[in-house]
Structure 1
Amino acid sequence: MHVLRTPDAAFAGLSDYPFAPHYVEIRDRATATPLRLHYVDEGPRDAAPILLMHGEPSWSYLYRKFVPPLAAAGHRVLAPDLIGFGKSDKPADRADYTYERHVEWMSDWLTALDLKGITLFCQDWGGLIGLRLVAAFPDRFARLVIANTGLPIGTGWSEGFAAWLAFSQRVETFPVGFIVNGGTTRELTPAEVAAYDAPFPDETYKEGARQFPTLVPITPEHASVAENKAAWEVLSRFEKPVVTCFSDKDAVTHGGEKIFIERIPGAKGQPHTIVKGGGHFLQEDAPEELVQIILDHIARG
């Protein structure tokens, strides 16, 4: 496995991202290749952690407006960069990226830090991977906040996802910052767009971002259908508190909250929210509202 590492200079002077870097070295289970995984870690280390998981093609920069207020409220706040994204290492071959490998990489990071009592906030692939972590380690999680994501088992897809899949595979130059900006309802500033582009000095660094859309198990023939079905079996018995906060202007995941509310026992009777005016990357559109949802969810116990 050939691995690329974005130079630190690419991240110099990022807008509103003052966080010290933290790294854990994990090893790919199949090849024993070392991979350096970056994460933000702010707030008191002895506090129960809030885990913020990003998706495609973003990185922990997506949570820059979450980390300070959550840490100021007394919580330990962690925002990892998935392998292939942000400041984490990036395998150079698309074939090196599979759904199961992503779950393994994040599982090894989670257990290396021995996180417990976790409040998970997940969106996009942060949910596809994060909810698999919950299924693998349910005792480590205290509560869930689920936003604009899913856990597909090969039963179809939305028109919005079909359009995204086609675009992602056909576009000659994969425009990461442009994509994130297109998934918000507000217009990102040029500095913010540049920050989303920063992890990818050229197209060779984008193989993970290119591959992710093809890995979503939307047909019975996709890999990871069986693993996601097994994860749903665990989630269908998960009784700890779960809230959803999907947005009303995301063509990809619109209505996706219903299955979580119906199938996860811990979601029953909870104050679920539809975030008004939020796009796919609702963290950019409504950070204050989402931070308050997380804090209120924790305060309810």
Structure 2
Amino acid sequence: METIKHSKIPVNGINMHVAEIPGDGPPVLFLHGFPELWYSWRHQMLYLSALGYRTIAPDLRGFGDTDAPPSAAEYTAFHVVGDLVGLLDALGLKQVFLVGHDWGANVAWNLCLFRPDRIKALVNTSVVFSPRNPVRKPIESMRAMFGNDYYICRFQQPGEAEEELARVDTAQVIKKFLTSRNPGLLCVPKEVGFGGKPNSKITLPSWLSEDDVNYYATKFNLTGFTGGLNYYRAIDLNWELMAPWTGVQIKVPVKFIVGDLDLTYNTPGVKDFIHKGGFNKHVPFLQEVVIMEGVAHFINQEKPQEVSEHIYDFIKKF
């Protein structure tokens, strides 16, 4: 992608890799999920830059060409949001439009929670805002609801998931994560393993090429998956540290987009939260919710044109 400029920027004690298409228009900051990289926003960057926007997509802490501190305790919401505030300061940006997906959506919610002054408006995808439960730690709640084989519960033990993923070719792991629409992916017994069967054939959908898979695989072959897994391992620590923000609302304009086949949308309680008032209560400036039919979790790659248009239709109002 010749039009995309790459740089390393020192922020918050780490070096962050940033992909950017320079422009004189308003800046848009894109935050990726797991197991992804800045690259998952390639289509939206090109689309919005063609309309004059300045598009910026970092590899988050622990991913790709950005530094990966070793301890899970260094992946709290405060570390990751701190990285992004540092990035905005380094780029001389007082405010940006913000777009997130998956873990990037979680980070985006927290960035808006901590520093709403830096965000003009938010378009978040796939992962709904999750208000803090003041009584029960998240991992304990997940174990009670889904059992010990639930993937987030299984990710908690350092080294275990890494060992299972290492049994399978990295490209195969990327294909499995990005293309699966099987709810069974969320509960993975140890005997099955996160990588699945080493030689199972996965046919790529039209929206994902071998070159795309190889880009991800090349980076994850260099870094491993620990950086990304550490976000999951910091969930309970986040819960402890974020006690002062219990009940605080998201006070920026928001548009939310999710696919009707997304496993997060079909998690128990999520649809009711979105459609029966809970979402609006905690995100009072929520202006639009879009449910895309026939679309699964990796929405910005599966339906790049539609998602790009949805982002533009919202941010052009501001």
TM above 0.5, yes or no, is yes
The question of 1:163 aligning with 2:150 is answered: yes
Structure 1 counterpart of 2:213, from 193, 212, 215: 193
- After superposition, what is the alpha-carbon deviation per residue over 1:69-115, rounded to whole angstroms, capped at 9, x for unaligned? 10011111111110111221223455544443223222322332232
Counterpart Cα distance in 1 of 2:281 and 2:171: 35
Larger radius of gyration: 2
1:263 match: 282
| Cα distance change, pair 241–99 in 1 and its aligned pair in 2 (3 A) | closer
Counterpart Cα distance in 1 of 2:289 and 2:38: 25
The question of 1:51 aligning with 2:25 is answered: no
1:3 match: none
| Cα distance change, pair 271–95 in 1 and its aligned pair in 2 (3 A) | closer
Counterpart Cα distance in 1 of 2:123 and 2:172: 27
Contact map agreement 1:66 1:287 (CA 8 A) in 2: yes
Q: TM-score, normalised by structure 1?
A: 0.77
| Cα distance change, pair 178–235 in 1 and its aligned pair in 2 (3 A) | farther
Specify the code of the residue in structure 2 equivalent to 1:21.
Answer: H
The question of 1:25 aligning with 2:37 is answered: no
CA RMSD of aligned residues (A): 2.9
Contact map agreement 1:53 1:123 (CA 8 A) in 2: yes
- After superposition, what is the alpha-carbon deviation per residue over 1:242-298, rounded to whole angstroms, capped at 9, x for unaligned? 11101111213433671433421211xx33201222222111111111110111002
Counterpart Cα distance in 2 of 1:68 and 1:91: 31
Alignment of 1:98-113 (within 5 A): 98-113=76-91
Q: TM-score, normalised by structure 2?
A: 0.74
The question of 1:272 aligning with 2:289 is answered: yes
Contact map agreement 1:183 1:279 (CA 8 A) in 2: no
Counterpart Cα distance in 1 of 2:147 and 2:255: 24
Structure 1 counterpart of 2:61, from 61, 83, 90: 83
Q: After TM superposition, where is structure 1 displaced by more than 6 Å over at least 4 residues in a row?
A: none
- After superposition, what is the alpha-carbon deviation per residue over 1:126-154, rounded to whole angstroms, capped at 9, x for unaligned? 12222221122212211111111244424
Structure 1 counterpart of 2:107, from 114, 129, 140: 129
Gaps of 5+ in 1: 1-15, 29-34, 217-221
| Cα distance change, pair 176–252 in 1 and its aligned pair in 2 (3 A) | farther
1:4 match: none
| Cα distance change, pair 285–262 in 1 and its aligned pair in 2 (3 A) | farther
- 1:17 Cα deviation from its structure 2 partner: 7.3
2:178 match: 183
Counterpart Cα distance in 1 of 2:284 and 2:229: 35
